[in-house]
Amino acid sequence: MNALESVSIAIDAVRSQKLRSGLTLLSVGIGVFAIIAATSIMSTLSRAVSGQLADLGENSLLIQRTPTINFGTNWAKMRRRKNITYMQAKEFRDRMSSTNQIAISNQNPGMTVKSGQESTNPDVTLIGIDEMYFVVNAVSVSAGRPVTESEVATSRPVAIIGQDVVAALFPKVDPVGQLITLKNQSFLVIGVLTKKGGVLGQSQDNRVLIPITVFNKYYTWEWDASVDISVKAINKLMLMETKDEATGIMRALRGVKPWEENNFEIDANDALSGQFSGFTSAILAVAWISGLGALVAAGIGIMNMMLVSVKERTREIGVRKALGARRRWIIRQFLVESITLCQLGGTFGMLGGIAASWGVTELLREAMPSITYVFPTATVIFSIVICTIIGLAFGMYPAWRAAKLDPIEALRYE
């Protein structure tokens, strides 16, 4: 009996024992589905987030009161930290010697922007910036110009708006030179941000930038008055030296004693990427453990199916052995059948996992337009290999039982 005939017998066994075969194949499919879907989704997210964090600026540090990404940290403790005040940030900038590329900013989400009869949804992020914001961060204008030092110093009511705001308020006219209103305060639009897409699910185009001095005057309250400080090292080699100096200055400004931990966060983009990688690794570990567990359970089911098949085909095996079939031929036949059953379930799982991960990517595209689907080539190959191994491992005992049958006793079996 050749391999194709063994495959055909395996498929016929699935058809004749629909419920038992279906449950077994479902278990294989679930295991493969979990592994492929989780790996593809996490790989896609990791690539998108890594690229977007890199877009925030090379060789940059971000100093904040609380972590940007928080997984398992005591959030209540973080919220009790004192604000990083605007005066502290200015003093920090004056004391830094390793770099002069330092930007101070703050933001308020959930703002509504108006112009004439038009208005945006109440989901615009308002950001107070200084003149160094465009130098330190990977942000540029596609029309108009950035905020100047004199406009920050004199609290001029000027604004730079994102592409989403332009689409909502000025779909048919040049926005530069137009007036917008934010909570009864009018601003002259002096620039339009270059389209960026999303970072960590948050649109970079649905925002308005104004001088931080104006922001502090009209748009901050006690709970959100803490500013962010962005620091750009001269080059990558200077990044750690800049970070050490920044840490020391911030500890001194905030009165942190030598034995106390920092009451602020200072992270480079690679640290943020590391935190996200830790999160994705934990999800992948759970998915892989669950998937491999399901495959082992499926292997036990396949072994049970094959043992039943051996019992049902005892006379057939006796006839084949009486006609001269060797043990290794019978072992090979049943192993091919076992592998075929496992691969059938794995194929459904692979197709389902690929479809699910692609669907999730498309759903995320609205929030992260730059996201691209990562096809899980290595995981698909691994799934094919692991299904083959499962088929071999759990098909070996039934195959051995079949090959060991005495032909005379097998022929007498009813």
Please report, rounded to a whole number, the percentage of residues in the chain having pLDDT higher than 90.
21
- In our burial notation (b when 16+ CB lie closer than 10 A, e otherwise), range 124-138 reads bbbbbbbbbbbbbbe
- Specify the pLDDT at position 277: 66
Instruction: Return the SS3 of 219.
Output: coil
Count of Cβ atoms closer than 10 Å to residue 340 Cβ: 21
Residues with Cβ < 8 Å from 160, sequence gap 6 or more?
A: 141, 144, 146, 147, 189, 190, 191, 192, 193, 208, 209, 210
- Specify the pLDDT at position 191: 93
Residues of the chain with confidence (pLDDT) below 70: 1-21, 48-58, 68-77, 197-202, 221-224, 269-279, 313, 317, 325, 365-371, 405-414
- Specify the pLDDT at position 333: 76
Pair 179, 208: CB distance under 8 Å: no
Q: Apex CA 54: angle with CA 49 and CA 55, to 5°? A: 95
Helix (H) or strand (E) holding 159: strand 158-161
Overall pTM > 0.75: no
CA–CA separation, 46 and 58 (whole Å): 18
Identity of the residue numbered 28: V
- Specify the pLDDT at position 269: 63
Q: Apex CA 159: angle with CA 153 and CA 163, to 5°? A: 150
- Specify the pLDDT at position 174: 92
- Specify the pLDDT at position 325: 67
* Domain locations along the chain: 3-48+283-412, 100-232
Q: At what angle do helices 269-312 and 314-322 cross, to 10 degrees?
A: 70
Burial class of residue 334 (count of CB atoms within 10 Å of its CB; 0-12, 13-18, 19+): buried
At 365, list the tokens: 């595209």
